[in-house]
Amino acid sequence: MRHVPVEQIFLWISILLIISLGASKLSGKIGIPALLLFLGIGMLAGSAGFGGIYFNNPYIAQLIGVAALIFILFSGAINTNWNNVKKVYLSGTSLSTIGVFVTALLVSVFVYYLLNLSFIESLLLGAIVSSTDAAAVFSVLRSNKTNIDENLQTVIELESASNDPMAVLFTISLIRILTVANTTYLDLLQIIFTQISIGLILGWIMGSISPWIINKIKLEQDGLYSVLVISLVLFTYSITTTMNGNGFLAVYLTGLLMGRVRFNHKKKLIHFSDSITWLMQIAMFLVLGLLVFPSQLVGVIWIDIIIAFFLIIVARPISVFISLMFSQFNMREKLMISWVGLRGAVPIILATFPLIADVPNAKGIFNLVFFIVITSVLIQGTLISFMAHILKLKK
Decide if pLDDT at 227 tops 60: yes
Q: Do 225 and 271 meet the contact criterion of CB atoms below 8 Å apart?
A: no
Region of 49 (left: φ > 0; alpha: ψ -120 to 50; beta: rest) is beta
The per-residue pLDDT for range 247-302, each reduced to its tens digit, is: 888 998 999 899 888 888 888 888 888 788 778 878 877 887 777 766 666 656 78
Distance CA 55, CA 65 (A): 15
Q: Which of 26-40, 103-117, 136-150 has the highest mean pLDDT?
A: 103-117
Distance CA 100, CA 246 (A): 16
The per-residue pLDDT for range 315-348, each reduced to its tens digit, is: 999 999 999 998 889 999 999 999 988 887 788 8
Q: Do 40 and 289 meet the contact criterion of CB atoms below 8 Å apart?
A: yes
The per-residue pLDDT for range 211-222, each reduced to its tens digit, is: 999 998 888 888
The pLDDT of 2-10, averaged and rounded, is 73
For 286, the 3-state DSSP assignment is helix
Query: Can you give the length of the chain in residues?
Result: 395
pLDDT number for residue 235: 96
pLDDT number for residue 314: 95
Choose the weakest-confidence range: 67-76, 97-106, 111-120: 67-76
Over pLDDT 70: what percentage of the chain?
90
Q: Which of 64-78, 223-237, 296-310, 351-365 has the highest mean pLDDT?
A: 223-237
Mean pLDDT of the chain: 83
Tell me how crowded residue 221 is: count the other CB atoms within 10 A of its CB. Answer: 8
pLDDT number for residue 139: 66
Q: Do 277 and 71 meet the contact criterion of CB atoms below 8 Å apart?
A: yes
Cross-strand partners of 53: 46
The per-residue pLDDT for range 296-323, each reduced to its tens digit, is: 666 567 888 899 999 999 999 999 999 9
Over pLDDT 90: what percentage of the chain?
23
pLDDT number for residue 59: 82
Under the banding of pLDDT at 50, 70 and 90, the label for residue 11 is confident
Cβ neighbours of residue 249 closer than 8 Å, sequence gap 6 or more: 162, 165, 195, 196, 199, 200, 203, 240
Under the banding of pLDDT at 50, 70 and 90, the label for residue 135 is low
Decide if pLDDT at 188 tops 60: yes
